Structure 1
């Protein structure tokens, strides 16, 4: 810069309500300006003037004017401070703000807690019948039993504080919203939260995270997926994978990004880069399947769709999970529980798990979440990943060169400290800080982390490094300039007609045709069809579930009320395994009879008429109890779904939409095969004869 050794006169005016305009004069040496900019990796871009004025959103902060530019006076001191100056590199802004924060500010900044709307009883029994509103739930710290270990422990899992207390006393600025409400209400609540944060001494905005909200899923639960929401509804993650369409996957992510950003949700606790190598695992439905190379491609498109090439003011930052892959739990058990804490690698394929994470890092994922598991049979210490120096520091930071945020899963300190059970809470925090965790999920109360800093003063440097990383994310997202959203526009953007139409295509492309005996499909015109959607509780009773009749949609076939009237039976089975959070450590099975399907009822239907079996695969179910390839009988076709609609299924079987989907995993030929497979080995690498339906299998018309 030619003026590097010259003095710049920076003139700016700050307008105050009911007070005369004040002009402030600052002298800043060109050398100092250059030093600030050169500290930033993108100096050349930053130095290319002029800057573009961003839109500023304020509720209580006054506006500082500097020539033609405007800035928010977030700390209300009447001066333009470096962290308020959007022209400066994010690193310089973060360092300036970090120096202004108290220890309490910094410690609170390292916690991400669930938060609630008024009358939202997500974590406890309803205390009133009043409707949920966008007001804050102002109860104090919500405690309770640990849903994972069923023990009453001193610090509960997934607690939440009253919102005002969380912001003003605990200094929290990271929140997880689990409530399922309208787009407008979500936006209203988000704006209230941001206004509260802006009113605090430093005016630091909040970031609001959520689990997935755009998928049809059989296993919606706190901590995994919000389920059916106001947002556009797409296939489950397995269904997105089954489409074999990376362009449409990218389009999905971009549409979801627009919906999330419109409502103030700017951080996704998603997606799972874990591999579905263990078919019994209760979280298979949240994966993109068993093939690491394909999952890596899916992760790339998902991250680019949500975040863009780099984080910016229109991005939703993603937290890729669960490093280094959680799909190889011993016996399929999950590490939310003591009986599932071991992740095993009998096939020696830990490196295979890493491929999707490498892709996510290359695509720029903002954060990575380690799982609760402790590795068995590897070179790494047998301690949970959040405490595992070899896995986090040596592998993730050094070998894979991940520079972003390491976000613990919910509760590894208080609830799931596998391998660190003998350590005190203070010692656990200390170890996790030393390993490199930057954001702790699951508690709203910073007292224990503060205690740790007092016990280990050198850890303050680690806290400050974490806060710096977290601030960089917020600056990149533009939250310091404008964290607010247009509440009315949110309703117009979320699930609009264009988004619905694209989701409808995806729902159809996600369906896989596996068998089509005697070319029964597509069904011929005027065929009489009995269509039953079969979904039972865990203790099924005899009789039909939902009998479908297409009243609002004209199909070339005729729907009838009983199997006896039909030419063809279309039976859509929706097996349901034991809920993840109802796990009791008992062995996991994949046969239909063990997963809420009354096999005798299905056999009786098959005996009556030619039947098309549609099966919703939230796991790789074993179907040998009702389908034998050596003796197909009346089973004339098999269709796989992964979270879709009756209309999409009917479009496939009637030929309105040709099936193009491919299986995202292999399905075991028998229960015995499922029990003998190796947890870390994908089905297509298991010995010959393992699979009934193979990975990447799928027919068309």
Structure 2
């Protein structure tokens, strides 16, 4: 083994002319168990606004300690990126730090989705310096696989420019349980549509095959996180059960079969535990029947399996105590949990910084080093294939030019507008030709935007001729910091809000409602009363105004049913699509403007 820090760069695993398999094997045989263990953990990391390492809020270890002492080299960057140049500089700094370690293994930086409009910063990031598109539901509404490929290719370019080499997406969970808080991250209710779109999504990120110009795709959440009991999320103890009351797991596996065929490099299992199935009632990542027998042997996936975040260690997230999501195995020690994850077939543990537990397992003879090597080989091979050993650094000037460039933003803005779905348009009231000198009542829109189009904004609906209301799918607020980000519970507005809205509907002659759907909403009162009803999947106020004034046309189709009542939701089966009785609107519904030529 090399003893001088500079000697390592002359070793065979740095020689790019050698086959990747040879480089991987050369490196593995030089690694000690601590270095191998460090490869199997991926924790969150952030930076200060000026690009310095952000260690004040870290309770585990500093960035330098994680890289140089715990030998970790996979990190999930969290937080908004306002300046691509600053972020690129931070990225190069952490790569330089990694090169000072004994073996110099480069760092892989991952990210949750960060190119969408979203209210849940716990499961995705704000766009900041990047182009901002509708949520994946918007792409499902457009039914345009070519556009999905173009979107994925654009974010590939933005990620590459700023140093991201692993996307913690796409999400292909099916929205068969309309109450689930993470519906907005997927492509809706239809397994075939989702399968088509995830195929082009992965190709856009990774290319024809994984290589130096690729971003690795981590498809999630295996075997499909949609059918949660009562729609509750397994981030939390009360949501840990995943139910298949329609015996319909195979439907939820369809998109994963498509993703594997498309070549997804990684897959993430979800937190939930299957209830009343043939599988052991423990969290999916701990379940050998799910990971080894189903995912690897039956579906043939041989890539990296990375757990969802926080299965081993209790934590504090946004001021809220969060127990480890080791459902069904809460009684196990942290070391026992790691053992179960490795024995199930997982390769990497997300949201954790405890490689010493793997070292302990090997030293105690509970896990063989050869088992660890299987995962180490998978993880290292991806780093080599991505070209990280050949050039881990990014061009700071190029990062500023590429991320969020004008052409990318223009395409994103167009997708926001086109993905709008028009569900009602009485007397073809839309598009409005003019609001000049009209009395306009607005909610969710800056009044100055209405004034700029010639309208007169009024505070009282009783004096208004037209009302524009931008609303959001209702939910039942939850306590806590992190938990409050998850929009769960009822899909209908509470009685007091229904009454307030009803007064506006009765008072104003023309009411146009724009409803943001992060989940299916139950809105018969709105649909029955308003002049026009539009729904969006993440859009700006400017996009809404362009649509209602005919500067753009809504072309989206619903990516799921909209239930007619909460009674129908409660009576439906969580794993079966289109299962609520007499839905108000159906999957595929969507009107077009009548006989209007848009320029």
Q: TM-score, normalised by structure 2?
A: 0.91
Change (3 A) 1:317 1:376: same
Q: CA shift at 1:586, angstroms?
A: 12
Would the aligned equivalents of 2:474 and 2:492 in 1 still touch at CA under 8 Å? no
More helix by share: 2
Change (3 A) 1:263 1:425: same
Aligned with 1:307 (options 202, 206, 209): 206
Verify: 1:573 aligned to 2:474, yes or no.
Answer: no
Aligned with 1:561 (options 449, 453, 458): 458
Residue 194 (structure 1) aligns with: 95
Change (3 A) 1:581 1:677: farther
Q: Which structure is larger by alpha-carbon Rg, 1 or 2?
A: 1
Residue 23 (structure 1) aligns with: none
Q: How far apart are the structure 2 equivalents of 1:247 and 1:317?
A: 20
* Aligned ranges 1:125-204 → 2 under 5 Å: 132-138=49-55, 142-143=58-59, 160-181=60-81, 182-204=83-105
Structure 2: give runs of 5+ residues left out of the alignment.
Answer: 314-323, 594-599
Q: How far apart are the structure 1 equivalents of 2:449 and 2:153?
A: 34
**Could you list the per-position Cα deviations for residues 233-291 of structure 1 after superposition, in whole angstroms to 9, with x for gaps in the alignment?**
00012112112111111111111111111011111111211111111111111111010
Change (3 A) 1:447 1:687: closer
Aligned with 1:372 (options 268, 271, 277): 271
SS of 1:598's partner is helix
* Aligned ranges 1:169-568 → 2 under 5 Å: 169-181=69-81, 182-221=83-122, 224-414=123-313, 415-456=324-365, 458-526=367-435, 528=438, 530=440, 532-534=442-444, 546-547=446-447, 549-550=449-450, 558=455, 560-562=457-459, 563-564=461-462, 566-568=464-466
Change (3 A) 1:611 1:274: same
Counting matched residue pairs gives: 575
Would the aligned equivalents of 1:663 and 1:694 in 2 still touch at CA under 8 Å? yes
Q: How far apart are the structure 1 equivalents of 2:58 and 2:425?
A: 54
Residue 547 (structure 2) aligns with: 652
Residue 17 (structure 2) aligns with: 87
Change (3 A) 1:186 1:420: same
CA RMSD of aligned residues (A): 2.3
**Could you list the per-position Cα deviations for residues 138-162 of structure 1 after superposition, in whole angstroms to 9, with x for gaps in the alignment?**
45x933xxxxxxxxxxxxxxxx521
Residue 99 (structure 1) aligns with: 29
* Aligned ranges 1:677-696 → 2 under 5 Å: 677-683=572-578, 686=579, 688-689=581-582, 691-696=583-588
* More off after superposition, 461-470 vs 560-569: 560-569
Would the aligned equivalents of 2:42 and 2:353 in 1 still touch at CA under 8 Å? yes
Q: How far apart are the structure 1 equivalents of 2:288 and 2:367?
A: 18
Would the aligned equivalents of 2:170 and 2:218 in 1 still touch at CA under 8 Å? yes
Q: How far apart are the structure 1 equivalents of 2:86 and 2:458?
A: 41
The structure whose RCO (Cα within 8 Å, separation 6+) is larger is 2
Q: How far apart are the structure 2 equivalents of 1:344 and 1:479?
A: 41
Q: CA shift at 1:327, angstroms?
A: 0.7
* More off after superposition, 578-587 vs 368-377: 578-587
Q: CA shift at 1:360, angstroms?
A: 0.9
Q: How far apart are the structure 2 equivalents of 1:666 and 1:279?
A: 9
Q: CA shift at 1:626, angstroms?
A: 3.4
**Could you list the per-position Cα deviations for residues 339-370 of structure 1 after superposition, in whole angstroms to 9, with x for gaps in the alignment?**
11110001111000011111111111111001
**Could you list the per-position Cα deviations for residues 116-168 of structure 1 after superposition, in whole angstroms to 9, with x for gaps in the alignment?**
224xxxxxxxxxxxxx22122345x933xxxxxxxxxxxxxxxx521110111
Q: How far apart are the structure 2 equivalents of 1:451 and 1:99?
A: 20
Would the aligned equivalents of 2:135 and 2:537 in 1 still touch at CA under 8 Å? yes
